[in-house]
Structure 1
């Protein structure tokens, strides 16, 4: 079992936390976010969903397929707030199989720069302290996502490394995943491979094509992940899971009647190189900025 740390009064990364993160590739911080803040984020997202016109776009997000990878709606979402559906959200005739709030897979990827509520949350002192305490010299929030993991149709997320999608040289990506509702094995909590960040290196790179139109995946190392060593990472409401870009993690489909809302912020070190062929690009009009106003 991985160590869990009481983070209700979090101020800084302790030596014990740093040791656990370096060894396991993931840090479990219970109670980092209070319940009232979790509820505030859920309420704000409900407002945003209510304002979305389902006829505007029907982009489906799946980690098992690649249709969205070539979708301009997805590829231009690095500096926008865009809505993506579950694979099972539509029937054969293109009609929603459930109400809109129960059909979405996620919203991304720039709420932390475009929405005041999510912006204030993303740039809280605790997140800055986590990134600096784990070695980032100039932490830059790069990507944010609100993930629904809907009841009954919440899709599987296959084993992957976040650095596949958000690469820097050297590798500096950190993910801060916050449970806005209880995440259990029943409703699709994350699973991870402790120590997996130390074996095999980066498996693949998700790259923009040279002309910028579309993407492709380059296999770097075809060594399979040791999924037989995976462990569940249940996260009560308010728990934060912090993991590095090479940490292999996944989640199963949610067939339960309970949703599993979560918020994820990905942060890179501004001192590292961010390759131009990363899929997520930001225009000059919305440059990356750090935690300080």
Structure 2
């Protein structure tokens, strides 16, 4: 079976009829359906990794952090911070670690070691990251998952800085990037080895079967969750330790997290989130409100308008 959502399953004959050429094995598809994630080792080559890391080094070098730092280091600037966040959907924006600033509002380490992530339109605006994001192997993966007209709705370069790389609490990607029906799938590419020591991903296998727990809503007063988070038993989580170049494919309803990086080694990763736009509706109260629809990875069915 080929699938991208529990409510929407496509068998192999239907996939062939739509002209889909996928690259996933039956075992990988089974893992996605039963466990909510799977790992593809060596998905990115050493050259791919080197190109993305060097390009990010250049972007960081060129980044003037003075104006942006004031947004994140000054108290009672919530509206400015929110606006910076909202506008990042169609820009290459830089976000600082919570522990990057001292009590004096100044960075406590070089800017290269102070950034939490860069997002959310690297896949559109930077040629190196766009080349990987729109590659045939990424498109083929989503063909295997049954997507008809997938778009990359956001991209992030995540640093997980040594010593200050922040915790990411248990969450589901569909909470933030909701379509009706839910169709979000996350791709998490390790650009360095990810281990328990430096803050690898952790997940509750099979948790996607329980459906979406809560949503991250954008309203007039800003963004907030529509209900409190459940309390999860940490014994249910398993670590996903992977080598550089490995890709973790994550179901949108899978509960996953990562801990602080208290080690001396960073844990760089490049993340994409993809939703389908054929027969699906983008929720109006999502935090992302784009002016222009992203270019689809491919179109294998009727070219339907997807209103963002």
How high is the TM-score relative to the length of structure 2? 0.84
Q: Distance in 2 between matches of 1:173 and 1:204?
A: 14
Q: Map of 1:118-137 to 2, 5 A cutoff?
A: 118-137=129-148
| Alpha-carbon offset, residue 29 of structure 1 | 0.6
Q: Map of 1:109-258 to 2, 5 A cutoff?
A: 109-199=120-210, 201-209=211-219, 211=220, 214-219=222-227, 223-258=230-265
Q: Distance in 2 between matches of 1:76 and 1:150?
A: 24
Aligned to 1:291: 297
Q: Distance in 1 between matches of 2:229 and 2:99?
A: 30
CA shift in 2, pair 1:109/1:49, >3 Å: same
- Post-superposition Cα deviations, 1:106-141, rounded to whole Å, max 9, x if no partner, equal 000011111111111100111111112112111111
Q: Distance in 2 between matches of 1:68 and 1:43?
A: 33
**Structure ranking higher in helix proportion:** 2
Given that 1:60 and 1:86 are in contact with CA atoms closer than 8 Å, whether structure 2 keeps it comes out as no
User: Which of 272, 286, 305 matches 1:278?
Assistant: 286
CA shift in 2, pair 1:182/1:222, >3 Å: closer
Unaligned residue ranges in structure 1 (runs of 5+): 1-10, 62-66
Aligned to 2:272: 265
Given that 2:149 and 2:298 are in contact with CA atoms closer than 8 Å, whether structure 1 keeps it comes out as no
- Post-superposition Cα deviations, 1:208-263, rounded to whole Å, max 9, x if no partner, equal 11x4x6222102x8644443211000010000000111011100100111000000
Aligned to 1:12: 23
Q: Distance in 2 between matches of 1:170 and 1:159?
A: 22
Q: Distance in 2 between matches of 1:222 and 1:48?
A: 35
CA shift in 2, pair 1:73/1:269, >3 Å: same
Given that 1:69 and 1:215 are in contact with CA atoms closer than 8 Å, whether structure 2 keeps it comes out as no
Given that 2:149 and 2:297 are in contact with CA atoms closer than 8 Å, whether structure 1 keeps it comes out as no
| Alpha-carbon offset, residue 278 of structure 1 | 0.6
Q: Distance in 2 between matches of 1:150 and 1:68?
A: 26
Unaligned residue ranges in structure 2 (runs of 5+): 1-21, 300-308
Q: Map of 1:56-135 to 2, 5 A cutoff?
A: 56-58=67-69, 59-60=71-72, 71-135=82-146
Q: Distance in 1 between matches of 2:79 and 2:43?
A: 33
How high is the TM-score relative to the length of structure 1? 0.88
CA shift in 2, pair 1:111/1:131, >3 Å: same
Q: Distance in 2 between matches of 1:263 and 1:181?
A: 10
CA shift in 2, pair 1:260/1:72, >3 Å: same
